[in-house]
C-alpha cells in the first residue's frame, strides 16, 4: 500500500518528454549543420575524442536525476503495517429550541445564537463521541443523524432558525420523542440528550416523554438560556428591529426562562440542569457529566502506518545530478578499447 502526499508535483514530470524532444531536435539541427559545413566522416576524424554515446548517457542520467527529484518532492509513503484503532465514546443528541421566544435578546446576541454557540463549544471539547442534532418548536425535526463528522454538524448548526419548522410553540416532549428515534436498541452505546431551551413548554407531557426516554436508557441534561426577568421578542427585517411580538390583546409579549420544568425533566432521567448564560459553567458541567458516563467501544478500524520514503529518491536524485556534472562528452579510454558501441573503425 502507498500514498502520495504532494501529488501536485507530479505535473513537473512533463518536463521529461519536453527535454527529450528538445535533445532530439538539437541533435538533428547539429547533424544538419554539419552536413552543410562539410563531410560527416571528415568531421569525425577532426574530433576523434568526441563520443556519440556520451551525450545520450548524460541525458539519461540527467532525466533520471530530475525524475527522482520530482518523486522525492511528491513524498511517496509506503504502508508497512496495519494498526487497529479503537474508538470509545457515547452518542450525544443536541435538541435545540428554535421557537420565536428564542429570538429574545435578554442574553446576547440572542437566546438562539447563544444556544448555537454553546453547542459549538461543547463539540470542540469532544473527542471520539458521536453527535446528532434535533430542532424543535411546536414539533421536532431531525437536523442531523448520529455522526462523528463534527465539521458537518457545525455547518448544519449555523443554519438553524425559527423558519425551519412551521409549527410554532414550544413542545419539549416532541424533542424528546424525536431524540428517542435516534436510539438503536441493538446498539449498546450510552446515549445522552442535551436540551437547550428557555424552558417555555406549551405541552403537558414533557415529564411523560422523559420517563419513556429513561426506559430506553436515554439520560437528559437541560440547559436553560435566557433570564427569569425575560425580554420581548423582536421582529426584524434585514437585521433591523421593526417592532416586538404582541399577544391577542396587543400587549408586548415578555418571554421568560423557566428553569423549573427543565429541572424536573432532567431529574426524571438522572440528569441535571445548568444555566446556559455562562459558557464556562456549561462546558465544565457537561465535561463533568461526560466523565461520569461509561464510554463504549463503537468503532474499530484498521489503518495503515505510512512512512515517508522521499529521502531515498532525493538521495538518488542528488547522486545522479552530481554524476552528470563529471560525465564528459569525450570518449572514455577503457570503453573505447572495448568498442562496445562500434565507435572505432
By CB neighbour count within 10 A (0-12 exposed, 13-18 middle, 19+ buried), where does 290 fall? Answer: buried
Cell numbers for 319: 547522486
Of 45-59, 113-127, 310-324, minimum mean pLDDT range: 45-59
Instruction: Check residue 283 and give its pLDDT.
Output: 95
pLDDT digits (tens, 9 = 90+) for 31-66: 777 676 666 666 565 565 666 667 788 888 888 989
Is the pLDDT confidence value at 223 over 90? yes
Is the pLDDT higher at 87 or at 104?
Answer: 104
Q: What is the CA radius of gyration of the chain?
A: 36
pLDDT digits (tens, 9 = 90+) for 163-203: 888 787 788 999 999 999 988 777 778 899 999 999 887 67
Assigned architecture for domain 86-300: 3-Layer(aba) Sandwich (3.40)
Q: How far apart are the first and last CA of the chain?
A: 52
Paired residues of 93 in beta bridges: 132, 193
User: Taking the domains of the chain in order of start, what are their residue ranges?
Assistant: 2-75+309-338, 86-300
Of 45-54, 205-214, 265-274, 290-299, minimum mean pLDDT range: 45-54
Instruction: Check residue 241 and give its pLDDT.
Output: 80
Q: Considering the chain, what percentage of its residues have pLDDT values greater than 90?
A: 36
Please provide the average confidence, as pLDDT, over all residues in the chain: 83
Measured N-to-C along each axis, helices 53-74 and 310-326 cross at an angle, to the nearest 10 degrees, of: 160
Is the pLDDT higher at 308 or at 335?
Answer: 308
Predicted TM-score (pTM) of the model is: 0.63
Answer for the pair 306, 77: CB distance below 8 angstroms, yes or no. yes
In this prediction, residue 334 has a pLDDT band, given cuts at 50, 70 and 90, of very low
Rounded to the nearest angstrom, the gap between the alpha carbon of residue 261 and the centroid of all alpha carbons in its chain is 38
Sequence-ordered alpha helix ranges (H) in the chain: 15-37, 40-46, 53-74, 111-125, 150-158, 172-180, 206-215, 259-268, 279-291, 310-326, 333-338
Instruction: Examine residue 109 and say whether the peptide bond preceding it is cis (omega within 30 degrees of 0).
Output: yes
Phi, psi (degrees; rounded to nearest 5) at 280: -60, -40
Amino acid at each position: 500500500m502507498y500514498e502520495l502526499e504532494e501529488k501536485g508535483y507530479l505535473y513537473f514530470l512533463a518536463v521529461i518528454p519536453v527535454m527529450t524532444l528538445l535533445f532530439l531536435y538539437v541533435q538533428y539541427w547539429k547533424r544538419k549543420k554539419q552536413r552543410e559545413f562539410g563531410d560527416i566522416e571528415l568531421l569525425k576524424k577532426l574530433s576523434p575524442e568526441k563520443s556519440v554515446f556520451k551525450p545520450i548517457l548524460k541525458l539519461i542520467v540527467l532525466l533520471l536525476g530530475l525524475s527522482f527529484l520530482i518523486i522525492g518532492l511528491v513524498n511517496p509513503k509506503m504502508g508497512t503495517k496495519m494498526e487497529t484503532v479503537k474508538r470509545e465514546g457515547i452518542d450525544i443528541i443536541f435538541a435545540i429550541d428554535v421557537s420565536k421566544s428564542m429570538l429574545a435578546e435578554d442574553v446576547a446576541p440572542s437566546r438562539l445564537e447563544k444556544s448555537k454557540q454553546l453547542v459549538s463549544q461543547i463539540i470542540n471539547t469532544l473527542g471520539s463521541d458521536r453527535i446528532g442534532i434535533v430542532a424543535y418548536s411546536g414539533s421536532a425535526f431531525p437536523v442531523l443523524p448520529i455522526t462523528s463528522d463534527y465539521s458537518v454538524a457545525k455547518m448544519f448548526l449555523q443554519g438553524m432558525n425559527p423558519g425551519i419548522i412551521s409549527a410554532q410553540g414550544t413542545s419539549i416532549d416532541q424533542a424528546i420523542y424525536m431524540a428517542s428515534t435516534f436510539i438503536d436498541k441493538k446498539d449498546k452505546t450510552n446515549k445522552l440528550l442535551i436540551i437547550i431551551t428557555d424552558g417555555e413548554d406549551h405541552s403537558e407531557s414533557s415529564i411523560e416523554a422523559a420517563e419513556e426516554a429513561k426506559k430506553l436508557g436515554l439520560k437528559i441534561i437541560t440547559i436553560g438560556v435566557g433570564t427569569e426577568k425575560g425580554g420581548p421578542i423582536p421582529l426584524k427585517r434585514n437585521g433591523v428591529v421593526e417592532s416586538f411580538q404582541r399577544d391577542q390583546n396587543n400587549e408586548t409579549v415578555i418571554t421568560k426562562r423557566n428553569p423549573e420544568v427543565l429541572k424536573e425533566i432532567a431529574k426524571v432521567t438522572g440528569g441535571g440542569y445548568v444555566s446556559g448564560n455562562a459558557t464556562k459553567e456549561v462546558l465544565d458541567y457537561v465535561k463533568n457529566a461526560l466523565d461520569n458516563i461509561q464510554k463504549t467501544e463503537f468503532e474499530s478500524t484498521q489503518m495503515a502506518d505510512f512512512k515517508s520514503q522521499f529521502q531515498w529518491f532525493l538521495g538518488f536524485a542528488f547522486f545522479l545530478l552530481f554524476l552528470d556534472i563529471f560525465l564528459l562528452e569525450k570518449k572514455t579510454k577503457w570503453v573505447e578499447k572495448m568498442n562496445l558501441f562500434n565507435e572505432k573503425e
